[in-house]
């Protein structure tokens, strides 16, 4: 039996406190890219009680994704936006989730992200990361932006940190490791970076802007 919306909110409020939960419930967060970072970030945010989540990706679930991304074997071939939407709704049935099967670029970013309070960059490729970051900083300077950079391999966990770059721009990761440099993406280290990004979003929502 699924709890009512009021019961789920009360449980979150008991855990987080009334003021923080009110802020979380009123927030709108965009997650751009639904791979190892984005799928884990999205799950953390809906579990925290974020009221609106805007998820975007153009790709489909592949067997190579299953080692670190929040998808199931039976979802192979599905669009990631569709598959993750179903999972998120199972976790947080009353969260407002907007899904888009779209490839973000300089032309559509300003319109697609216009209504979101906080933007999370969770792409795999460095050139796409740079494109999104630069576009948001130039076209949507009033938005908060949380990006990921460097989480490949099995280097120590504590190398992954969160850094405040400007007043509204944060980067999480080790800033060094890259898939092309050797060992690829390992689930535990990707999850650590995703946790940093999700927690940075929650702190911003809470009004805690310093890292």
Contact of 50 with 205, CB cutoff 8 Å: yes
Indicate the pLDDT class of residue 184, thresholds 50, 70 and 90.
confident
Q: What is the pLDDT of residues 91-108, one digit of tens each?
A: 999 999 999 999 999 999
Distance of alpha carbon 137 from alpha carbon 143, whole angstroms: 8
Closest CA to 188 of 133, 151, 147, 163: 151
What angle, 0 to 180 degrees and rounded to 10, lies between the N-to-C axes of helices 187-206 and 36-48? 40
Q: So what's the pLDDT on residue 211? A: 78
The superfamily CATH assigns to domain 5-206 is: NAD(P)-binding Rossmann-like Domain (3.40.50.720)
Closest CA to 118 of 22, 12, 41: 41
Domain boundaries, the chain: 5-206
Distance of alpha carbon 67 from alpha carbon 185, whole angstroms: 9
Average pLDDT over residues 25-43: 98
Indicate the pLDDT class of residue 183, thresholds 50, 70 and 90.
low
Strands of the chain (E only): list them: 28-32, 52-57, 96-101, 118-121, 144-148, 161-166, 169-173
Q: What is the pLDDT of residues 108-131, one digit of tens each?
A: 999 999 999 999 999 989 999 999
Q: What is the pTM of this model?
A: 0.96
């Amino acid at each position: 039996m699924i709890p009512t919306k009021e019961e789920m909110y009360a449980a979150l409020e008991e855990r987080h406190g009334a003021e923080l939960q009110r802020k979380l419930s009123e927030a709108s967060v965009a997650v751009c890219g639904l791979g190892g970072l984005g799928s884990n970030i999205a799950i953390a945010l809906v579990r925290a009680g974020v009221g609106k989540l805007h998820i975007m990706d153009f790709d489909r679930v592949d067997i190579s994704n299953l080692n670190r991304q929040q998808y199931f074997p039976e979802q192979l071939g599905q669009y990631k936006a569709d598959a993750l939407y179903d999972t998120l709704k199972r976790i947080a049935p009353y969260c407002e989730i907007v899904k888009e099967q779209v490839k973000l670029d300089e032309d559509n970013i300003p319109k697609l992200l216009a209504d979101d309070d906080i933007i999370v960059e969770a792409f795999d490729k460095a050139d796409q990361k740079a494109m999104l970051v630069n576009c948001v900083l130039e076209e949507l300077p009033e938005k908060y932006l949380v990006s990921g950079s460097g989480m490949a391999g099995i280097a120590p966990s504590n190398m992954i940190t969160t850094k405040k770059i400007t007043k509204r721009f944060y980067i999480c990761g080790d800033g060094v490791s890259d898939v092309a440099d050797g060992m690829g993406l390992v689930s535990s280290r990707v999850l650590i970076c995703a946790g940093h990004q999700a927690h940075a979003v929650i702190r911003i929502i809470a009004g805690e802007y310093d890292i």
